[in-house]
Amino acid sequence: MKINAIKLTKNYEGRNLALDNVSFEVSMNGMLAIIGKNGAGKTTLVRILATELLPTSGTAYINDIDVIHNAKDVRELIAVVPQEARAVPWLTPLQTVSSYLMWRGLSYRESRERGKEVLRTLGLENVENEKNRKLSGGMKRKVLVATVISSDAPIIFLDEPTTGLDYISRKELWEILNSMKYNRLIILTTHYLEEAEVLGDKIGILDKGKLLAFGSMDELRRIVKYPFIIKISGDVKINSIDGYIKRLSNGDVQIFSTEREIFKLAQELLEGKIKFTVQEVSLNNIFEFLVEGGVED
């Protein structure tokens, strides 16, 4: 599955640029996570790729089909759960899934059969005939995800599907998303960095409409100046180092630096018999570096 965005720009009338020359190419099965703060342009990007919105300039291709001029063909390939989408309260989960499949062209019987199958896979078979309004927030969100999974669409857009869910429900949804990403491309937007790091095979970082970085976690780590962290318990005197020192509220010290510097420092700490841990920077750290220009206390 392939998406190619070329200089996508969206300028809503009377407002700032929602998207500013965004270009990227992704060709894989798996999960592409787009992260950014509120208003970063995530939803605008998804809506353009999902043929719901026209860009001001630029274009995009899905499996080499132009989303601007051949939207009809693109729509055969994609399925979308928009931001703030809600399961229609007067429908049951089975009715929700099957009617969506009918909009995709399946017959009543086919759509019911496939709907039942997907709801069973997601553990919703016991509530398939309950009204959506009676379900918990997490279950309602699962119903929406079930609608798009049940389609054969090889490319799925999920715009902030876990926003507002409690941690347990979010993790349940992560498991579902993780299990369904192997035979399709899922584009997930989120402002939960942990979610993007856990699920994303590739990650795009958007800020104020600009795509600041794009790639796998390893590729993103190569973008930042200091890709490693050494964490030392307690207050320790650190000689000058090419890096960034962050003192945590519990008294521990985190030093962000290059691989070579971290290795050197680790040797010194070993000699001084000081306890420490070494790890690669997280997406949270990368996001802070790129979006906020550094690591804050």
Give residues in contact with other proteins (CB under 8 A). 47, 50-54, 71-72, 75-76, 78-88, 90-92, 95, 99-100, 102-108, 111, 131, 147, 157
Helix (H) or strand (E) holding 7: strand 2-11
C-beta of 79: minimal distance to other proteins in Å?
Answer: 7
C-beta of 22: minimal distance to other proteins in Å?
Answer: 18
* Bridge partners for 156 per DSSP: 79, 186
**DSSP structure class, residue 250:** T
| Rounded-to-integer distance, Cα 207 and Cα 238, Å | 34
CB-CB neighbours of 63 under 10 Å: 17
C-beta of 148: minimal distance to other proteins in Å?
Answer: 8
**DSSP structure class, residue 38:** T
**Reduced to 3 states, what is the DSSP secondary structure of residue 295?**
coil
Closest to other proteins by CB, 153 vs 295, is 153
Closest to other proteins by CB, 43 vs 285, is 43
C-beta of 105: minimal distance to other proteins in Å?
Answer: 4
| Rounded-to-integer distance, Cα 119 and Cα 146, Å | 7
Closest to other proteins by CB, 143 vs 286, is 143
C-beta of 104: minimal distance to other proteins in Å?
Answer: 5
Contact 6, 52 (CB under 8 A): no
Closest to other proteins by CB, 41 vs 243, is 41
Calculated CA dihedral for residues 252, 258, 263, 268, nearest 10 degrees: -50
Closest to other proteins by CB, 2 vs 231, is 2
